[in-house]
A and B are shown apart, each in its own frame.
Chain A
Amino acid sequence: MDLNTKGKAEHTYDAIVVGSGISGGWAAKELCEKGLKTIVLERGHKLEHIVDYKTANSAPWELQWQNTPSRELIAQQEKQNRTGYTVRPASSYLFVDDQDHPYEEKQRFDWMRGYHTGGRSLMWGRQSYRLSPMDMESNAKEGISIPWPIKYADLAPWYDYVETFAGISGANDGLEQLPDGVFQPPMAMTPPELELKAGVEKKWKGRKVVNARVAHLTKPTAEQTALGRSSCMYRNLCIRGCPFGAYFSSQSATLKAAANTGNLTLRPHSIVHSVIYDDKAGKATGVRIIDEVTMETTEFYAKIIFLNASAVASTSILLNSKSDRFPNGMDESGSLGGYLMDHHLGVGANGYMETNLDKVQFGRRPGGFYIPRYRNFSEETGKAKYLRGFGYQGAGFRQGWSRGIEGFGADFKKELTSFGPWGISMGGFGECLPYENNRISLSPDKTDKWGLPLVVADASFKENEYAMREDMMNDAAEMLEAIGAKGINTFKQEPSIGMGIHEMGTARMGSSSKESVLNANNQVWGAENVFCTDGAAMTSAGCQNPSLTYMALTARAADFAISEMKKGNI
């Protein structure tokens, strides 16, 4: 559909942001606050903060099948169900209908998506850790893949900036491998967690057990209160959306701030097909979209474009953006689509403690403890037979009704309605190396109902990832043994790429246009008014939950974009 002059003017903004998820919300906020008329193109439907969280206050008996998924629900969302917890009556409407959103798996790829305002920022795990200097130097030191084109020091002030606005509960632990930050009060550890900390730190000098760092408010700032957010109520029903705005999401925080400027337009049902590149001008001029509902194609124009559709989706847009300059998609290095990474998990140990039985927790705390990487880190922590390392997330609670209880009748019922011992468990998150042949590409012949080529995933975890999983399991058991935990049980599931829901890479940052898609400022090489600041940009994965890093990259790139615009460079 060719727009006439008037139509074109109506579709022209200062900035376009593709995607309203955890990084898109940040791009919108930063650009709007700096005075740019910004349109956020969200492919999914509008989901209003609080009003549309329809199950947020539902008691179990108010949910179909007491929140057990039906066969029909699972058949409809078979891939979204692979995690084992996303497809439930309370939350399944927040994950995509797999029938409408198919993709090809040359190797198994578990692709969890939320297509609505805020995307997965509504359902995310909220654990928020900075990458460390070590993480950002790993590729360079080990000669793996390409080095990051930026240093930790370049990101540090931006981590400060995003943590301050988002609100992160945690403690400053003074650890090199997990940099300190700007935190609200941490959520205190339970007795077994304190026992774990004391026991582990005494036995292994290099291992630390610290408070989890989670994007939940424990002491809201004036800015957060002004946005209508309040402290965490310890319900742990976060996946349903929070009526208190207590955890960070696009809806509770960044989109609100963006809207408050009066510069934001949010257009839902807007599936971006490609970036429009003007070969003569040597820059992008806008994007082509297909309306999800009407199926109509139209264009939007802007001086700068931020791609924040999520890693695989942003890369797909770049792959689909063909022009004379970019006949194979917006990349000249050949690296676009390659180097897909994720964290591998489903490995660790659990047990129980019979100390402190005169105490019980009150409340359902959304973050427990974190054990930062210790392998391949220092002399004290040894040199493992693999590169990189892993961290653990864990918690210790008085066991409740879901524990195994022997017996029947009145005695069984009495035991059932009493507290069990303190259960304690930890699961590892392992780093994945960037491999050239872990690829995302577009199908040459298969399309979805909007005519967009299907994503083809061809990626797997490899030797290095499998090798570290032995330690991830054994170390966890060893730590529980050290504190006298009983009934220790280890687990090590077959890992699956995508299951971490931290899929990243495929449009990596680098120092040269010959080997990367993005430069040190997240600009697309050759199209410097196009930025990509979601997971696609990641040059290496670390073992830390990555969303905080996407926020920092976004805020930094938006600041750069504005300054370049002022200088007339883009």
Chain B
Amino acid sequence: MDRREILKMMAMSLGSSVALPESVFAKMGEPFDARELNFFSDAQRAQVAMLAEAIIPETDTPGAIGAGVPGWIEVIVKDCYSPADQKQITDGLAEFTMRCAKENGKSIAALEPAAQVDFLTKVDKETKDAKWAQRNAGNNVPDTFLERFKELTKFCYVNSEVGATQAFDFQLVPGKWVPDMPLEPGMKAYSM
């Protein structure tokens, strides 16, 4: 499946209220080729993009999609995750998508930002409560799908070129050490 076809499929599942820019793949330069991604199905790829963008949306800086996060998520889940963790991602995506459709009547991307946050917060709380109930009962269950997907989205965003250099302050070679520089309001945190 080439880039254009993938984008068409994603646009279809996203609905008309969200424009899906070419940049979803544009910022994935080396060291992997987006055309070689073959872990997620097209539907899953769309779900990943929608959820990542809801977690880190475009504001005055690009969001997850603009930073190429979906591609990074796919290649990391594909090559670095254990089979059990991969299953948690794919099962979790499916459950989340179904729950969103059932409770909101539409996909996460089609909701207004405030409604996105409300729904994510609700799901997060409920799944975390269930996790702690299990752990307090002595069942060593892993962190929830949403917790882990959020951390993964965050990681891939901070370590992307767009995220690191536009949303954060990127300093490859600081060149000096200052232990107590004045912190001005609005100063961006470091990405490294």
Is the CB–CB distance between A60 and B80 below 8 Å? no
Tell me the bound Cα distance from A398 to B178 in angstroms. Answer: 12
Q: Which residues 14-41 of B sit at the A interface, judged by CB distance below 8 A?
A: 29-32
Is the CB–CB distance between B57 and A409 below 8 Å? yes
Is the CB–CB distance between B174 and A409 below 8 Å? no
Judge if B110 is at the interface, Cβ distance under 8 Å: no
Closest residue on chain B to residue A410 by CB atoms: B59
Is the CB–CB distance between B76 and A59 below 8 Å? no
Is the CB–CB distance between A358 and B191 below 8 Å? no
B55–chain A nearest beta-carbon distance, Å: 5
Is the CB–CB distance between A407 and B117 below 8 Å? yes
A362-B117 contact in complex given A408-B55, A409-B57, C-beta closer than 8 Å: no
Judge if A225 is at the interface, Cβ distance under 8 Å: no
Q: Mark A242-253, 1 if CB is under 8 A from B, else 0.
A: 000000000000
Contact check: which of B75, B76, B120, B173 meets A408 at CB < 8 Å?
B120
Q: Which residues of A contact B154 (CB under 8 A)?
A: 401, 405, 416
Judge if B137 is at the interface, Cβ distance under 8 Å: no
Sorting the interface of chain B by its residue count into under 10, 10 to 19, 20 to 34 or 35 or more gives 35 or more
Is the CB–CB distance between A409 and B117 below 8 Å? yes
Tell me the bound Cα distance from A58 to B59 in angstroms. Answer: 28
Judge if B188 is at the interface, Cβ distance under 8 Å: yes
B88–chain A nearest beta-carbon distance, Å: 15
Tell me the bound Cα distance from A405 to B158 in angstroms. Answer: 14
Q: Which residues of A contact B187 (CB under 8 A)?
A: 360, 419
Q: Which residues of A contact B164 (CB under 8 A)?
A: 59-61
Q: Which residues of B contact A63 (CB under 8 A)?
A: 31
Judge if B132 is at the interface, Cβ distance under 8 Å: no
Contact check: which of B61, B179, B183 meets A188 at CB < 8 Å?
B179
Is the CB–CB distance between B56 and A412 below 8 Å? yes
Judge if A187 is at the interface, Cβ distance under 8 Å: yes
Q: Which residues of A contact B61 (CB under 8 A)?
A: 417
Is the CB–CB distance between B31 and A62 below 8 Å? yes
Judge if B175 is at the interface, Cβ distance under 8 Å: yes
Judge if A102 is at the interface, Cβ distance under 8 Å: no
Is the CB–CB distance between B121 and A408 below 8 Å? yes
Is the CB–CB distance between B159 and A188 below 8 Å? no
Is the CB–CB distance between A71 and B72 below 8 Å? no
Tell me the bound Cα distance from A357 to B182 in angstroms. Answer: 9
Judge if A335 is at the interface, Cβ distance under 8 Å: no
Is the CB–CB distance between B79 and A362 below 8 Å? no
Tell me the bound Cα distance from A235 to B59 in angstroms. Answer: 29
Is the CB–CB distance between B120 and A187 below 8 Å? no
Is the CB–CB distance between A364 and B179 below 8 Å? no
Judge if B156 is at the interface, Cβ distance under 8 Å: yes
Is the CB–CB distance between A360 and B181 below 8 Å? yes
Tell me the bound Cα distance from A359 to B187 in angstroms. Answer: 11
Q: Which residues 394-452 of A sit at the B interface, judged by CB distance below 8 A?
A: 398, 400-401, 405, 407-414, 416-420
Judge if A66 is at the interface, Cβ distance under 8 Å: yes
Closest residue on chain A to residue B190 by CB atoms: A400
Contact check: which of A64, A66, A398, A411 meets B117 at CB < 8 Å?
A411
Q: Which residues of B contact A411 (CB under 8 A)?
A: 117
Q: Mark A354-384, 1 if CB is under 8 A from B, else 0.
A: 0011111111110000000000000000000
Contact check: which of B80, B168, B171, B188 meets A71 at CB < 8 Å?
B80
Is the CB–CB distance between B82 and A71 below 8 Å? yes
Q: Which residues 39-85 of B sit at the A interface, judged by CB distance below 8 A?
A: 54-57, 59, 61, 63, 72, 75-76, 79-82
Among A189, A356, A363, the one with the most B-chain Cβ atoms within 10 Å of its Cβ is A363
Is the CB–CB distance between B189 and A417 below 8 Å? yes
Tell me the bound Cα distance from A313 to B154 in angstroms. Answer: 43
A56–chain B nearest beta-carbon distance, Å: 10
Contact check: which of A65, A233, A359, A400 meets B182 at CB < 8 Å?
A359
Among B32, B61, B190, the one with the most A-chain Cβ atoms within 10 Å of its Cβ is B190
Is the CB–CB distance between B174 and A364 below 8 Å? yes
Judge if A191 is at the interface, Cβ distance under 8 Å: yes
A209–chain B nearest beta-carbon distance, Å: 14
Is the CB–CB distance between A191 and B80 below 8 Å? no
Q: Which residues of A contact B117 (CB under 8 A)?
A: 407-409, 411
B42–chain A nearest beta-carbon distance, Å: 22
Judge if A234 is at the interface, Cβ distance under 8 Å: yes
Is the CB–CB distance between A234 and B174 below 8 Å? yes
Q: Which residues 67-111 of B sit at the A interface, judged by CB distance below 8 A?
A: 72, 75-76, 79-82
A417-B167 contact in complex given A362-B178, A412-B56, C-beta closer than 8 Å: yes
Judge if A69 is at the interface, Cβ distance under 8 Å: yes
Q: Which residues of A contact B167 (CB under 8 A)?
A: 413, 417
Contact check: which of A60, A72, A193 meets B159 at CB < 8 Å?
A60
Q: Which residues 14-62 of A sit at the B interface, judged by CB distance below 8 A?
A: 57, 59-62
A66-B192 contact in complex given A61-B160, A360-B183, A408-B150, C-beta closer than 8 Å: no
Judge if A172 is at the interface, Cβ distance under 8 Å: no
Is the CB–CB distance between B183 and A357 below 8 Å? yes
5 contacts between A and B (CB under 8 A): A59-B170, A62-B31, A65-B76, A66-B155, A365-B177
* Sample of 11 further A-B pairs with CB below 8 A, known A59-B161, A361-B180, A409-B54: A60-B159, A60-B191, A61-B164, A65-B75, A71-B79, A232-B177, A235-B172, A360-B181, A401-B191, A413-B59, A420-B189
- A-B complex: 4 closest residue pairs judged by Cβ atoms: A60-B159, A363-B174, A66-B159, A363-B177
Binding site for A on B (CB under 8 A): 29-32, 54-57, 59, 61, 63, 72, 75-76, 79-82, 113, 116-117, 120-121, 124, 150, 154-156, 158-161, 164, 167-168, 170-183, 187-192
Binding site for B on A (CB under 8 A): 57, 59-72, 187-191, 193, 232-235, 356-365, 398, 400-401, 405, 407-414, 416-420
